[in-house]
């Protein structure tokens, strides 16, 4: 008798638990089974349908986020595929959809969703009798109206959009060359996509459908028969691929890209074993395999240049592991490119745990790339938060394998992202100074920290939104505001919206902290902190005290006598559980209604500070 597939076995176990009203346990069993499985398109659909049933159970936990699909095509298959894709990545989400081609109507009503996905179709663009420029302008105008409608309905909360681009199933009767000429079908698609990208609202993600279809081949990605029968143009493979790309876009909007790429060395960054071959005998550059390793190194270096931290976890003697970076002229990466370097014979799970502590990042920010399947399995078993790349045997396929997971997708790349690698490299010098200092006060004083506080302005808004979207450890309320909400806050009279930049003797940390504080709706003497967050790079250095002292000065100058703050406890912000009492706040039963974002009554800890009795604590940060 044949054994059931892993998916079928997991769903059977889940069904049994659902019958016993144990939906949370059922969801965990299925999620654990799905993680790491290579599902066929039919299995993805089956898993998604089961998930919709499970989340409809009375005992089911609420989903972590909601996504709403608005399409000029049928999106039914995509709802289940997207839910299954997210569950495979460890996220419990619910996906709703509007009716076929109901975009404009639906955009005029409130939509309860964290992310709205907009799916166009090219029929009207290429079949209209209008001139190309007029048709493109009409299509872009339609989507701009939809964006405006959705933004008007999202007053007081973040609006996050995924705008899918246009694509063609084929060049049509024109033929490829004429279709690409000015005014042709391919040219219209290129024009409208470029115009949409240029006009895209802040906190939005553009998904290039043409590129995605090209990755898989249009003949495999699209299914004309499905479109004629159901107005759903994608094949089974296309639906699954689109769901994966949409989930990467959701993740880019809500949490940003993964932050750390951890690399093995032997047969990963070069061919051969350095302990046997020596630093000049390893395979890198010169010959097909060597060129593949060199190309992979260049790809990793490019990721570092845009803000991804590189790290090494190698089972090797430390001297052997480091020497190729120092003496081999074919190496594209150097030791200075790595934010962390762990070479020992200890389990790699310990190396990654130590890196996370050193870099002050959660393990869920890590991606692990190792050619050894046994090492990958151990990381999956011991550190399930870490994303593990399924590394192929051929080094020429390494870049594709790394790109397949879309772990480093970003809605936009800021100057702060580009400076991140250099800032973490300087952190090593700071840690060395800390080890030599006689006391914590001596160390903080020796850093010669300087803090520059400024009102939030347009140039810093993208970085502020990025911090709001992905900062977790030092974050009082974890409200995720977008640029539209910040613009509304700036119009509130007597609002105090501040940013903080920090530098020290080793270099510039950049913009590291944001405070958003607004007057209470009913009591003009009460200032309410809506959000306060800070980058992990400067935690435990008294920077928060300096910043708060400045807030108090501003509050007094504007006539406030008290400050209200709340901390909404999460799995990651226990670090600041004692922050408010340490600053002189006392518990209170009051809980003012926030002007923007959700009201966390019942799940937050509330505090009040009387400014008359506030004495600024000591800080080692000086104003420039």
Q: What is the pLDDT of residues 368-396, one digit of tens each?
A: 999 999 999 999 889 999 999 999 999 99
Percent of the chain beyond pLDDT 90? Answer: 48
Nearest CA among 596, 568, 599 for reference residue 483: 596
110-140: per-residue pLDDT in tens?
888 889 999 999 888 888 667 888 888 999 9
In this predicted structure, the answer to whether residue 273 has a pLDDT above a threshold of 60 is: yes
Q: Kindly state whether residue 428 falls inside one of the protein's structural domains.
A: no
Are 198 and 157 contained in the same domain? yes
Least confident segment among 118-127, 529-538, 552-561? 529-538
In angstroms, the CA 468 to CA 471 distance is 6
Percent of the chain beyond pLDDT 70? Answer: 93
How far CA 223 is from CA of 117, 171, 368, in Å, comes to 21, 15, 35
In angstroms, the CA 231 to CA 248 distance is 25
In this predicted structure, the answer to whether residue 418 has a pLDDT above a threshold of 90 is: no
Are 245 and 323 contained in the same domain? no
Are 56 and 85 contained in the same domain? no
What is the crossing angle of helices 41-55 and 23-34, to 10°? Answer: 160
- The stretch 168-193 carries a mean pLDDT of 86
Cα-based angle 445, 448, 449 (whole degrees, multiple of 5): 105
Tell me the CATH number at 469. 3.40.630.30
| Last residue of one domain, picked from the residues 206, 223, 254 | 254
| Last residue of one domain, picked from the residues 12, 31, 61 | 61
Are 617 and 490 contained in the same domain? yes
Q: Kindly state whether residue 418 falls inside one of the protein's structural domains.
A: no
What is the crossing angle of helices 6-19 and 41-55, to 10°? Answer: 10
Are 10 and 91 contained in the same domain? no
Q: Are 119 and 234 in contact (CB under 8 A)?
A: no
In this predicted structure, the answer to whether residue 557 has a pLDDT above a threshold of 70 is: yes
In angstroms, the CA 376 to CA 387 distance is 10
Tell me the CATH number at 79. 3.40.50.1110
Are 388 and 487 contained in the same domain? no
Are 509 and 494 contained in the same domain? yes
Q: Are 536 and 422 in contact (CB under 8 A)?
A: no
Query: In the 8-state DSSP scheme, what is residue 570?
Result: -
> What is the span of the domain harbouring residue 12?
1-61
Are 239 and 287 contained in the same domain? no
Q: Kindly state whether residue 390 falls inside one of the protein's structural domains.
A: yes
Q: Kindly state whether residue 411 falls inside one of the protein's structural domains.
A: no
In this predicted structure, the answer to whether residue 194 has a pLDDT above a threshold of 90 is: yes
Burial of 327 from C-beta contacts in 10 A (0-12 / 13-18 / 19+): exposed
Model confidence band, residue 156 (pLDDT cutoffs 50, 70, 90): low
Q: Pick the more confident residue, 261 or 541.
A: 261
432-464: per-residue pLDDT in tens?
555 555 566 777 777 788 888 999 988 888 888
- pTM attached to this predicted model: 0.76
Predicted local confidence at residue 369, as pLDDT: 97
Pairing of strands 338-344, 309-315: parallel
516-533: per-residue pLDDT in tens?
999 998 899 999 999 999
What single string gives the DSSP state of each residue in 91-123? --EEEEEPPTT-HHHHHTS----SEEEEE--SH
Model confidence band, residue 253 (pLDDT cutoffs 50, 70, 90): confident
Are 227 and 294 contained in the same domain? no
Are 54 and 100 contained in the same domain? no
| Radius of gyration, alpha carbons of the chain | 26
Predicted local confidence at residue 574, as pLDDT: 82
Predicted local confidence at residue 94, as pLDDT: 93
Query: In the 8-state DSSP scheme, what is residue 283?
Result: B
Predicted local confidence at residue 435, as pLDDT: 52
Q: Kindly state whether residue 430 falls inside one of the protein's structural domains.
A: no
Model confidence band, residue 487 (pLDDT cutoffs 50, 70, 90): confident
């Amino acid at each position: 008798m044949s054994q059931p597939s892993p998916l079928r076995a997991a769903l059977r176990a889940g069904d049994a638990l659902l019958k016993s009203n144990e939906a949370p346990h059922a969801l965990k069993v299925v999620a654990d089974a799905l993680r790491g499985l290579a599902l066929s398109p039919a299995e993805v659909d089956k898993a998604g349908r089961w998930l919709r049933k499970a989340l409809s159970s009375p005992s089911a936990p609420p989903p972590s986020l909601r996504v709403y699909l608005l399409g000029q095509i049928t999106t039914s298959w995509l709802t289940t595929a997207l839910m299954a894709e997210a569950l495979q990545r460890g996220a419990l989400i619910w996906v709703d959809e509007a009716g076929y081609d109901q975009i404009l109507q639906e955009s005029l009503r409130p939509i309860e969703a964290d992310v709205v996905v907009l799916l166009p179709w090219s029929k009207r663009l290429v079949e209209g009798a209008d001139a190309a420029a007029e048709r493109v302008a009409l299509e872009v105008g339609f989507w701009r109206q939809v964006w405006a409608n959705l933004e008007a309905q999202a007053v007081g909360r973040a609006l996050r959009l995924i705008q899918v681009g246009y694509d063609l199933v084929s060049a049509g009767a024109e033929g490829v060359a004429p279709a690409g000429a000015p005014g042709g079908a391919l040219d219209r698609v290129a024009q409208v996509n470029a115009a949409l990208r240029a006009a895209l609202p802040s906190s939005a993600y553009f998904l290039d459908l043409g590129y995605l279809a090209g990755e898989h081949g249009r003949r495999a990605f699209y299914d004309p028969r499905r479109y004629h029968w159901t107005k759903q143009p994608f094949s089974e493979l296309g639906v699954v691929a689109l769901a994966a790309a949409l989930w990467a876009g959701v993740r880019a909007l809500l949490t940003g890209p993964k932050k750390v790429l951890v690399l093995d060395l032997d047969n990963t960054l070069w061919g051969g074993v350095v302990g046997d071959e020596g630093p000049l005998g390893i395979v890198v550059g010169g010959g097909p395999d060597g060129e593949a390793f060199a190309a992979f190194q260049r790809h990793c270096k490019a990721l570092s240049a845009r803000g991804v931290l590189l790290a090494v976890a190698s089972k090797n003697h430390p001297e052997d592991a480091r020497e190729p970076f120092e003496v081999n002229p074919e190496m594209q990466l150097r030791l200075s490119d790595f934010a962390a370097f762990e070479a020992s014979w200890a389990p790699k799970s310990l190396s990654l745990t130590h890196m996370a502590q050193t870099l002050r990042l959660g393990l869920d920010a890590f991606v692990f790339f190792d050619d050894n399947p046994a090492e990958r399995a151990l990381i999956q078993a011991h550190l399930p938060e870490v994303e593990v790349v399924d590394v192929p045997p051929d080094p020429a396929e390494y870049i594709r394998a790394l790109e397949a997971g879309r772990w480093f997708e970003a809605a936009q790349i800021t100057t702060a992202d580009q400076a991140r690698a250099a800032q973490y490299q300087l952190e090593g010098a700071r840690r060395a100074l800390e080890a030599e200092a006689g006391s914590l006060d001596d160390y903080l004083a020796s850093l010669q920290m300087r803090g520059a506080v400024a009102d939030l302005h347009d140039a810093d808004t993208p970085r502020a939104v990025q911090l709001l979207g992905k900062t977790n450890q030092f974050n009082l309320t974890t409200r995720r505001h977008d640029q539209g909400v910040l613009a509304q806050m700036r119009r509130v009279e007597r609002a105090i919206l501040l940013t903080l930049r920090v530098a020290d003797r080793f270099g510039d940390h950049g913009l590291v902290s944001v405070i958003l504080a607004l007057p209470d709706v009913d009591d003009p003497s009460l200032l309410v902190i809506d959000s306060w967050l800070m980058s992990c790079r400067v935690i435990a250095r008294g920077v928060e005290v300096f910043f708060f002292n400045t807030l108090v000065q501003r509050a007094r100058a504007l006539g406030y006598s008290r400050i209200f703050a709340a901390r909404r406890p999460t799995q990651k912000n226990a670090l600041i559980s004692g922050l408010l009492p340490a600053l002189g706040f006392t518990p209170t039963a009051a809980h003012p209604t926030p002007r923007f974002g959700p009201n966390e009554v019942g799940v937050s800890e509330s505090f009040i500070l009387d400014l008359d009795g506030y004495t600024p604590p000591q800080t080692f940060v000086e104003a420039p």
